[in-house]
Structure 1
């Protein structure tokens, strides 16, 4: 059903309620309903007051003209729902927003019990149609791929996420309430909704990219998925509202899959989003079982410690990212008259444009890496972190020449230093007689002030020497008093290690340090976040294993007889 046919359905205004109208898809639906021109919209949400921003210009105009109103509604409070829905023709229940994801009892009251309250309130206030914004997740548990799945798919016996289980229960309540006290219901199952203002999927990808995890591909990267642009979800809701009247027999009490009708590789879609926001595209493949095991282990650890975690979301993402999940929307096309109004390509472009505005304010912000801070954020850091590849390469080349000169030329260290100073003095003296131009090339002279040291530099150097000296004196005083065993082992261990290095091979040690400096810091800066998170996961896994081993060993140490 196209937009023109929806607009021409009735000449008079019909009243609707968008319950959850300040959520991601709720805001899009409110805006679309108001642009159609034949609806009076009641925006209902959990916020006590309505806060408008630049994207709410259509709603702002409608509020001033009386075509829209705002109602503060807590779905756990049935009288509030009755008051907001009384006299309305249709209720679009977009689902609860701002859920406390770590409090499952509260989530149950909002999602499941809240849906019961919505149904009861709609029947009490005489609402004609109730359309529930469900999710394709209610038929997916990750155990089997879904290829061109339709509405005949059965719900899994067990879900990986408790929130998905609650949503499936809410959908069942909606369908079961159909044709009771004149209330007609249906549910729309959209698959991976994205768009401007997205609060779940795209922000999750952005957070992954910021943390460095977006570089990893879970699985083979060949799995296909269906995505749905938010404007198409809103269009499907309006089509369903019209179809419940004109095609009630095939719509009421039913559920319908809603997608963009264009399955794509999951990782191609993620790459478009991540690259479009300026982050590296995913490239490193990880085994699915390994990722799921780590997530399960971390979730178990946090639950044992009584801490909240977002590993349910991460686990669900891992399943989506590694499984084929495509759906057949023929039922929605035939009975609702649904076809996408925005293509997948245009939807991605609009989404990137919207999220890029939020990222622009960080473009001019200089963020110093840990490697940069360790190296002093100065010229040494610029060289070792390859900020200027030409200067870094020349520095590395000169250091290698010096290394060869002092350790492999066959001379002693003193004679090598004397020969180097002699060559430098001859070269410096000879440059004075070289013409300013040779074959058209400009010869730069070294000005005398290049060899001068400013008084401030000498003072700073002297101050640094004094600080280091005083720190050493305080350290030796602490040793002479005794008692600080940690400091003793640090100093004694460092001195002994230096003794071993010098006594074995100073040349090998210096070569190792030089090679390490020009490679390790650069690699560490490039993969700092990945290394940090991998180290954290490794430490948490060791902690889990330790807790599993210690109780056993403790139990075995108890006496067998009392």
Structure 2
């Protein structure tokens, strides 16, 4: 008798992480895969003939219901989410897309999954449930550290969503939550592009503090591996059920060293290392915020940026290793090279297209 192939549905399947999760699932040849997103697959991301792609919005229950009826997933991997960039990250508010998509969208997906007979759900949370307590440092933090103290909107929203997911865990509907740190890799929309932009803005010589503060980064394919491991666990032993896990590359690095490693891949080595005391940097950030408010022009510096730049934020992955069998397969140095090469190729492609448009 042939074995039934379990069906898995990935929300946010056209996104940076979601598309990588789908790729990993396809590589296992163990699942029937459905991608759900309100957008088509992003330019440059790989698509697969044996994956069903469905357009649906997690904020529209009727669209979700139709998608779940088509996919009939046994397990759901919920990567869909929204986050703010730049100084919007630090704006203190309690409404908007960050809350709507991350909280209500997650609630809608949970309800659709349970209503349509899914056996479990893996949620993409974030280390922001912890580190968005912006004034605190986090040295080798683990899952025993309490959440609920985040002061920034994204951390608050992800905490609320994670709580919904873990509270939904039962013997018949298993759930778990993964908390990746800063994710980067090919098609990266944030980390590598934003660090590359620092070169053109002439910001690479400035260091807030002494630059020794340790941070965690994680390569996108390693995060995708963790999601596949978590889905398999929930369908089999269930030892991950009801639990949260930090997912990192397991290689804490100083924020300055990571930035310099990225810049070197673009042929740029800062000629100076100008250390700005955190106290002075904070006042400069305060001034920049007021100037930005008066001029209505965005600023790259703010009090929040200063705090983020000087913070210590690295996590233990011992629990993920022990329970999920998670091992980061791509090292940080290798990941930096691959990610920067991908972005260099995209920049070159953009230059070629621009030159052709002038011909």
TM-score relative to the length of structure 2 = 0.86
Residue 76 (str. 1) matches residue 64 (str. 2): no
Higher helix fraction (1 or 2): 1
Measured against aligned partners, the alpha-carbon deviations of 1:353-397 in whole angstroms (never above 9, x if no partner) come to 1011123357899xxxxxxxxxxxxxxxxxxxxxxxxxxxxxxxx
Higher relative contact order (CA 8 A, sep 6+): 2
- Which structure would you say has the larger Rg? 1
Q: 1:280 aligns to what? A: 269
Q: 2:356 aligns to what? A: none
**Count of matched residue pairs:** 342
Aligned-residue Cα RMSD (Å) equals 2.8
Q: How far is 1:157 from its partner? A: 2.6
Q: 1:88 aligns with which of 69, 73, 94?
A: 73
- Tell me how far apart the structure 1 counterparts of residues 175 and 287 of structure 2 sit (CA, whole Å): 41
Measured against aligned partners, the alpha-carbon deviations of 1:448-504 in whole angstroms (never above 9, x if no partner) come to xxxxxxxxxxxxxxxxxxxxxxxxxxxxxxxxxxxxxxxxxxxxxxxxxxxxxxxxx
Measured against aligned partners, the alpha-carbon deviations of 1:140-199 in whole angstroms (never above 9, x if no partner) come to 12423212111011125341x22222122111111112118x321111011111111111
- Tell me how far apart the structure 2 counterparts of residues 23 and 183 of structure 1 sit (CA, whole Å): 26
Gaps of 5+ in 1: 1-9, 366-562
SS state at 2:125 partner? strand
Residue 353 (str. 1) matches residue 341 (str. 2): yes
Aligned pairs for 1:278-357 (under 5 A) are: 278-281=267-270, 283-299=273-289, 317-357=305-345
Q: 1:42 aligns to what? A: 34
Q: 1:175 aligns to what? A: 166
TM-score relative to the length of structure 1 = 0.56
Any conservation in 1 of the 2:99–2:153 contact (CA below 8 Å)?
no
Residue 28 to residue 302, structure 1, CA distance change in 2 (3 Å): same
SS state at 2:204 partner? helix
Aligned pairs for 1:221-232 (under 5 A) are: 221-232=211-222
Residue 362 to residue 113, structure 1, CA distance change in 2 (3 Å): closer
- Tell me how far apart the structure 2 counterparts of residues 277 and 331 of structure 1 sit (CA, whole Å): 36
Q: How far is 1:351 from its partner? A: 0.5
SS state at 2:52 partner? strand
Q: 1:29 aligns with which of 21, 25, 46?
A: 21
Aligned pairs for 1:177-256 (under 5 A) are: 177-179=168-170, 182-248=172-238, 250-256=239-245
Q: How far is 1:231 from its partner? A: 0.4
SS state at 1:135 partner? coil
Higher strand fraction (1 or 2): 2
Measured against aligned partners, the alpha-carbon deviations of 1:59-85 in whole angstroms (never above 9, x if no partner) come to 2xx32xxx2111111111112122222
Residue 148 to residue 77, structure 1, CA distance change in 2 (3 Å): same
Q: How far is 1:275 from its partner? A: 1.8
- Tell me how far apart the structure 2 counterparts of residues 310 and 186 of structure 1 sit (CA, whole Å): 38
Misfit runs of 4+, over 6 Å = 362-365
